[in-house]
Structure 1
Amino acid sequence: MKLLHIDSSVLGPHSVSRQVSAAIVDRLRAATPSLEIAYRDLTQTPLAHLSGSHLAAAQGAPAPAELGPDLAASAAVLNEFLDADIVVIGAPMYNFTIPSQLKAWIDRVLVAGKTFKYGANGPEGLASGKRVIVAISRGGYYGAGTPAASLEHLETYLRGVLAFIGITSPEFIIADGIQVGPEHREKSLANALQAATSLRAA
């Protein structure tokens, strides 16, 4: 069984989402010692954002020579995702949504014919067999019923994207309010880490 671990926070060791995603992976590794783990840090090895040349190459047009390494990176990222049975994603909220580094990764994973296809009844996800666990960190409180709920475009976006490719039951561990104050941060992180240790085995 293979696990793909993705981190996207720019805060390094100070990141809550990184701490929680690492705890998730540790829990699954302890439960299944034979688990094969691949790790990709999207801030250490960032992917370029899509350009017209990328889209043209995807349609079969000749790619400029300078785009070659990036197209190879795209293929590697997609293959990592396709090969994984479990995907763990560290996703902090930046300005009410996902980091741009994570968006660039998603753009390489949502590929027609690979993770979704269009049929007579519309789009059909092709990645339905995967287990996806997302570690979310948010500076404030954005849950249902909170004053800022309408600004929540992190969890909602990821649920929509994952459902589009066939992953309809992702698991979320959420640390909210980490910028409200030290006590809020400590309590939220502790609760998220506890939730990580309670995950079912791989």
Structure 2
Amino acid sequence: MKILHIDSSILGDASVSRQLSKAIVNQLQAKNTAAQVDYLDLAEQTIPHLTAEILMGQNAEQSALGEQILQQYLDADVVVVGAAMYNFGLPSTLKAWIDRISVAGRTFKYTENGPVGLAGDKKVYIASSRGGVYGEQSPVDFQEAFLKTVFNFTGVSDIEVVRAEGVSMSDIKDQAITTALDQIAKI
């Protein structure tokens, strides 16, 4: 099993999404000792945001980076994404990664019946953390809903969200993390 572990929080050791994504990877490794983990820390190894030059393949260095990121995604059997909610969305570094895996002809194709994902047959875990409490059907959730849409668009439908909400609220933070970790223990 190949696991692609992605963290995107800028908070380092203080990050709840990093704590949860690491717990998910540890749980997966405990169940499959032969699992290989490829780790990508988007706060440390930043991916430049998409530009016309990058999109048109006019920068050899960025084209090579894009191919490496894309192949990493395609090769993974399991993808674990640590995603903190920033201003109702996801970190811009995670969006830059998404722009590199959303490639026509590689992870999706357009047909007369609409787009078809090509990167299916993998499992995705989203380790989501939110400073406030929004709920699963929140009208201001542009984090989890967006990630689910992206992965579905590339053909991945087996998506599980592990969420810790209220992590900026001292009275519920510990319980939110405990609840999320309990969910991870059942993976």
What range is the shorter-chain TM-score in? over 0.9
Q: Give the partner amino acid of 1:25.
A: V
Secondary structure of 1:173's partner? strand
1:111 and 1:167 map into 2 onto residues whose CA distance is: 14
Q: Give the partner amino acid of 1:190.
A: T
- 2:2 corresponds to which residue? 2
2:146 and 2:178 map into 1 onto residues whose CA distance is: 25
Greater Cα radius of gyration, structure 1 or 2: 1
RMSD: 1.1
1:114 and 1:105 map into 2 onto residues whose CA distance is: 15
Find the partner of 2:164 among 158, 175, 191.
Answer: 175
Q: Does 1:163 align with 2:152?
A: yes
Query: Which moved further from structure 2: 190-199 or 23-32?
Result: 190-199
Spell out, residue by residue over 1:152-190, the C-alpha distance to the aligned partner (whole angstroms, 9 max, x if none). 111111111111111123000000011122x31111111
Retained in 1: the 8 A contact 2:122–2:158?
no
Q: Give the partner amino acid of 2:38.
A: A
Q: Give the drift of 1:7.
A: 0.3
Find the partner of 2:143 among 147, 154, 160.
Answer: 154
Percent of paired sites with the same residue: 44
Aligned length: 187
- 2:176 corresponds to which residue? 188
Q: Give the partner amino acid of 1:47.
A: I
Distance 1:179 1:116, change over 3 A: same
What is the TM-score with the length of structure 2 in the denominator?
Answer: 0.97
1:95 and 1:159 map into 2 onto residues whose CA distance is: 18
- 2:15 corresponds to which residue? 15
- 1:47 corresponds to which residue? 47
Q: Give the drift of 1:68.
A: 2.3
- 1:60 corresponds to which residue? none
Q: Give the partner amino acid of 2:119.
A: A
Q: Does 1:136 align with 2:128?
A: yes
Spell out, residue by residue over 1:66-87, the C-alpha distance to the aligned partner (whole angstroms, 9 max, x if none). x322221111110100100000
Show structure 1 runs of 5+ residues with no match.
Answer: 58-62
Q: Give the partner amino acid of 1:116.
A: F
Q: Does 1:96 align with 2:88?
A: yes
Q: Give the drift of 1:144.
A: 4.5
- 2:112 corresponds to which residue? 120
Distance 1:177 1:122, change over 3 A: same
